[in-house]
Chains A and B, each alone.
Chain A
Amino acid sequence: VTLLEQNPRWRLVPRGQAVNLRCILKNSQYPWMSWYQQDLQKQLQWLFTLRSPGDKEVKSLPGADYLATRVTDTELRLQVANMSQGRTLYCTCSAVGGDQNTLYFGAGTRLSVL
């Protein structure tokens, strides 16, 4: 059973342009939603965890700038800007926050730089 729907699945991003990603939660029993990035060396890194509609956070990491928004109880968005290296962004969900929070991953959005 699919818990998360991510789109787009792949995007070629011209250097200097921003791209908007979307994640839809299919099961409200897993309301803690997060974004993780996986770089080209397969290293996974936490970006954000947003629980409530209206929550917003920004972060700058080597190779990209991020703005995450929890739009509704079922929708999470991520804007990726100034990306210089390709990466895959995964949306995740879990039943509880903090400890013992087993993560379930979406299918991912693969971003490549043009």
Chain B
Amino acid sequence: QQKVQQSPESLIVPEGGMASLNCTSSDRNVDYFWWYRQHSGKSPKMLMSIFSNGEKEEGRFTVHLNKASLHTSLHIRDSQPSDSALYLCAASSGSWQLIFGSGTQLTVMP
């Protein structure tokens, strides 16, 4: 069973709009979350990490974490066509491995 669930599977937003992506872990041992972005034909690149309850903002990107519900969300404001990519959520429960969700495919329409 998938331990990291992402929604929606795909998302289309207009240029300049807000994109909101969700991720939940079913493993109560998870403590740390990352968001990675993967453009078509490229390797994943770390976008943001969050380890504490609350919110973290970097430019147009904001992540939220609720440790009680093991839910994190990524919000992209003023979305640009260059933001079109596969967004991957990853979680760690203290082992060597990161568990990845199946991703949200974001398309920003000009």
A contact residues vs B (CB 8 Å cutoff): 32, 34, 41-46, 49, 90, 97-108
Contact = CB atoms under 8 A, between A and B. Distances in A.
Most chain B CB within 10 A, of A32, A46, A106, A108, is at A46
25 contacts: A32-B96, A34-B96, A41-B102, A42-B86, A42-B102, A43-B100, A43-B102, A44-B88, A44-B100, A46-B98, A90-B44, A97-B96, A98-B94, A98-B95, A98-B96, A100-B51, A101-B96, A102-B34, A102-B46, A103-B90, A103-B98, A105-B44, A105-B45, A107-B42, A107-B43
A25 to B, nearest CB: 15
B31 interface: yes
A46 B86 CA distance: 18
Contacts of B38: 42
A75 to B, nearest CB: 19
Contacts of B102: 41-43
A44 B43 contact: no
B61 interface: no
Contact of B92 (A32, A44, A99, A106): A99
B49 interface: yes
Contacts of A99: 31-32, 92, 94
B97 interface: yes
B76 interface: no
